[in-house]
Every structure is written in C-alpha cells, then in structure tokens.
Amino acid sequence: MQKKIIKHIQHPKDLRNLDAESLNSVAQELREMIIEIVASKEGHLGASLGVVELTIALHYVFNTPNDLLIWDVGHQAYGHKILTGRKEKFETNRQLGGLSGFPKRSESTFDAFGTGHASTSISAALGMAIASQLKGLQKHHIAVIGDASIASGMAFEGLNHAGVTNANLLVILNDNAIGIDPSVGALKQYLTNVKKGKQKEDNIFEALNFEYSGPIDGHNLDALVLELERLKTIEGPKFLHVITTKGKGLKQAEEHQVTYHAPGKFNAKTGDLLPSKHIKEPDKFQDVFGKTLVELAEKNENIIGITPAMPTGSSIKFLMEAFPNRAFDVGIAEQHAVTLAAGMATQGLIPFCAIYSTFLQRAYDQVIHDVALQNLPVIFCLDRAGLVGQDGATHHGVFDIAYLRCVPNLIVVAPRNEIELRNIMYTAQMGLKNPIAIRYPRGRGTLLDWKKDFESIPIGKGVQLKTGKNTAVLSIGAMANNVHKAIKGLPIAHYDMRFVKPLDDALLNQIFEAYTTIITVENGTTVGGFGSAVLEFAAENGYTNKIKIKGVPDAFIEHGTTDELQQQLGLDVNGLREFFIEF
C-alpha cells in the first residue's frame, strides 16, 4: 500500500490537523512502516505494534511535548518516535550512531523521560506533575505502563504516593497479558478477572484513590480518543485500563508473542523468520547455563531456579520444563527475587538466581543486606555481563564488577568459556558457604563441544594460559578470547584470573615478580573494576611495576553491535593488539 498520509506527518501537530476518520489509515501505515524497518534492521517489534492506536490517540488528544508523555520501559515507543520528527531516521534505530531503541531525552523533546528499565514511569510522571503544580503550570502528565511492569514494587510505590495527591497524572495500563514472557502473579489474575467482568467491586486502583475507567479496546481509535478527551477534563490522578494485543497486525507476532518480542530479521511481507544459514555455531551462554542447571538439578534436589520475568532470556525455562515445582518466575521484581533466594538459602535450599547484570543493579540493597551480610550461599548468575550491543546504555552490564567486588563475603567470578561456566556452577552447588556472583556475556560462546564431565574449580585461583617475557596480560571472563587472538605471535604472557574476588594473591605475586609490565583487560568499567583491584593489590604489596588498565571507560556507552562497540573502545582483537604493542 502506498503511504499517502504518514509521509505528511512530521510532528504530532500534523496529526492533529487530520480528521478523526483519517486516524485509522495512519494506524495501518504506521504498522506497515514499523514492520518493514524492523524486519531488516531488527528490534523490539511486538510491543510497538500493540500500541499503534494508543500512540496515535495520545498525540492526537494531548498537546505533546508540552504535555509530558512517558513510555515505561520503552520497548513500545517505535510508533512514538516515527510520529515525533524521527520518521526519516527511523531506519537507523538501534544502529551505531543512529536512534536509540528506547526513549532518550537528549534525542527529542518529545521523549520526556529516558527509559529502558521497567516500572519507572509512574514515579517520574508524578514527579513532573508535582513540579508543574509548584510552578503553576497547566500540563497533562501521562505514564503508559504494561501489565508486567505495573506489578513491580516501584510501580506500586508510585501509585501509593500519587493516590494521596491531587496531581494531574494519567496512568494508562497497556494490558496485553505479556511482558517479554507471559505475565505472572496474582495481579495478572486480578486484571484477567477485570477484563472478564468478574471483578466489579473492590477495584484496586479506585482503592488507591484513582479515577478508574475501562477496560476499553486499545485498538478502537474512536473509543480511545473519546475517553482521553473526557479524562483531560478530570482533575487529580486518573487511571485508564486499555486492552491491547501484543504484535497486533502481524499474524505471526500475535500468535508467537515471545518470539516476536524481538524476532531478529524476518520477511516483512509474510512475517516469517528468515532461515538460518545452517552453520553449526556454539550455543549461547544463557543456554549453556540453563541446560547445565537442569543437569545439576537432576542430581541435587535442593537446587532451585529463580528469575525476575526472564525465563526465556535467562534460559531458566529449561528448569521450568524439567522441574516446574523448583523454578520460579517472580515477575519484574528483582528485589523480591534476591530476598526470596536469601530466604530459601536459610532453609538449606540452593538457589540459582538468574538476573541480567543491568537488572541486578535494582536489587543492590538486597544483595548487601539480605544476602551478603548474612553470608547466605545464594548463587547469582549474571547474564548479559559486559557490552550487550544494540540495547545500548540502559542495558550494558558493565558496572557489576565495580559494584559487587566491594561487598564483603561475596565471591565474584567470570568464566572465560562455556566449560568454565559449567564447572563454576558445579562448584558453587557443592556446599559453598558464601554467596557467589557468576558473570557471563550475552550471545554465543566459542566452543562447539562444551558438555564435558564436571570438574571442581578452586575458589580464588587463576590460571596461566601463555608464557611470555616482559609483559603479562591479566584478563577476566570472556575477554580472554580476544586477548588470546591479540597476543598471537607476541612475547606476551596471558593469565586468566577467573576471580575478581577473592584475587589470587599467590599468583599475582608470581606475576609481579616475573614481569615488568602488567596489563589488565575486562569488559567492565575501568573505574572500580578488575583493573582497580589489581592496582590496589600492587599498592598494598609495594610493587612498582608498570600497570595499564584496559576496559570500558568512565562514560555511558551508546548502542551498536557488540563488535562495533568493542572496536570503538579498542577491546576488539586489533585494538587490543595495538594497545599491547605500545608496551
């Protein structure tokens, strides 16, 4: 279909010049554009397709950007970006130097708040609404939040506060019964009952002093516009319950919502995923973790799996299939996940708590207070550690080494490959008395044959991988692979230190006595990270060797493929080789 209307829409003011009857045509064209570009460029498809009508209605009714609109998480903001001056650049979405895959304040005045992590929209919008009151400004403040995100504790904290204010706040619940994986928990059942008309009394949102309306069909533009116009006239906190279908408008995305959340490349006309190249590749680290966890659980009945809303992404799904009573998806609730694991550990269970590195940041107090302070042997499995690619600054797992290694009792380890990951998981469940954080990267490993017999790894012990003359490189985690290739043919020694905490003091003493130059390499921050730990060791022991740190600099790293970002930071093979040769 030739796009006849959307090509004339550069900003929402152009949308508002249209008659209401034209909006459905805009919706169809907007869907086609999202599908066409995401099919070739990849990205978060299902969420954005599901809110096309809602996006149009919001910008049609409200005077954005003066009225402030916040998209919780931001997976669903592609239509919003296209309608707010970024249509011509949308093909650069998530590409190096292009548009961010999430709302970003520095990118557009229409992005009222930067998002990427769940459940922040209500608190942010309430803060803006209170600020408008204090300044005497007449504005609307809208937070669009999904049914998975609203179940988070932070969302309820925001609702709880908003309900005792008279702030001009509109919370819109985009209820499609799924986040990345299907939503879970008692609130999901409550919302299901509301949709079925079984929960007419004791409305939880009315109990929190919100003016509640809905549920309404989120794909009926006429109904959306009419109700939003009505809500504009009501003072105080308001709550609109909207029912949508994730992936709306693309059959495969509607039928396979988990896969089409971020499907990779697909045929824009048929919706079919593009076939693989039939080249045997190593498994993803997450799948090595998930399959190994099942192996261990088969022999150790005390093993439990926990994940906050990431059973597919973390591959806890394998344990759920094998032992459904021993695997728990607790929803978007990282704090609860950590303390739940702590409670289980007090009773002799062995919890493997699988959380993306960037999301464990949300449970930092629980890691310290509920786990480490009590020295409970919780096993944290930190997926997506290091640079994660096109999701960008909100999702890079580059801070975990720095924020974890300062915590007493906590062991921090980074296996360099799949076999090491298996072995440290095996070691951790064999009566370890301390909590441990195992960090591993996003994506595929390096080994086709990783399923070897388990071997115990001595805690706090590194290994030498290559001998050398004057210079030694100390790597941590999967960066060992790049280092291995970078020093090929060079007289440089290579050590995989394995553990950031405890450091292998005995091995470090040998290294500092044998080499004049020490170079550390990590896929975490250079400030407070592994390199900093080595510097501290040198200072404490009076070593004066030349020490250079290579890692992620003191800056938020934007989006691009992992290979592009490594090259940009000099962490790729060629960049590391050039860096090593300097010394």
Residues acting as catalytic residues: 246, 334, 362
Q: Are 109 and 13 in contact (CB under 8 A)?
A: no
Kindly state the tokens that stand for 444.
């595929």
Q: Are 117 and 143 in contact (CB under 8 A)?
A: no
Q: Could you give the C-alpha distances from 336 to 151, 153, 329, 351, in angstroms and in order?
A: 12, 9, 11, 13
Kindly state the tokens that stand for 53.
């009508």
| 313 Cβ neighbours under 8 A, 6+ residues apart | 180, 181, 286, 356, 383
Q: Dihedral of CA 336/337/343/346: which sign?
A: negative
For residue 283, the 8-state DSSP code is P
DSSP state letters, 109-153: TT--S---STT-HHHHHHHHHHHHHHHT----EEEEEETTGGGSH
Task: Give the residue among 533, 535, 513, 536 at the shortest CA–CA distance from 524.
Answer: 533
Q: State how far the Cα of 211 lies from the Cα of 163, in Å rounded to an integer.
A: 10
- Owner of token pair 């799996």: 305
Q: State how far the Cα of 49 lies from the Cα of 88, in Å rounded to an integer.
A: 19
Kindly state the tokens that stand for 370.
């509920």
- Owner of token pair 């060079």: 490
Q: Are 56 and 221 in contact (CB under 8 A)?
A: yes
Cis peptide before 282 (omega within 30 of 0): no
How much of the chain is helix, strand and coil, in % rounded to 5?
40, 15, 40
Task: Give the residue among 118, 130, 215 at the shortest CA–CA distance from 164.
Answer: 130
Rg (CA), the chain: 25
DSSP state letters, 525-572: ESSSSHHHHHHHHHHHTT---EEEEEEE-SS----S-HHHHHHHHT-S
Q: State how far the Cα of 111 lies from the Cα of 96, in Å rounded to an integer.
A: 20
Kindly state the tokens that stand for 239.
């709550």
Q: State how far the Cα of 471 lies from the Cα of 515, in Å rounded to an integer.
A: 6
Question: Amino acid identity, residue 394?
Answer: T
Q: State how far the Cα of 90 lies from the Cα of 38, in Å rounded to an integer.
A: 9
Kindly state the tokens that stand for 235.
């003072």
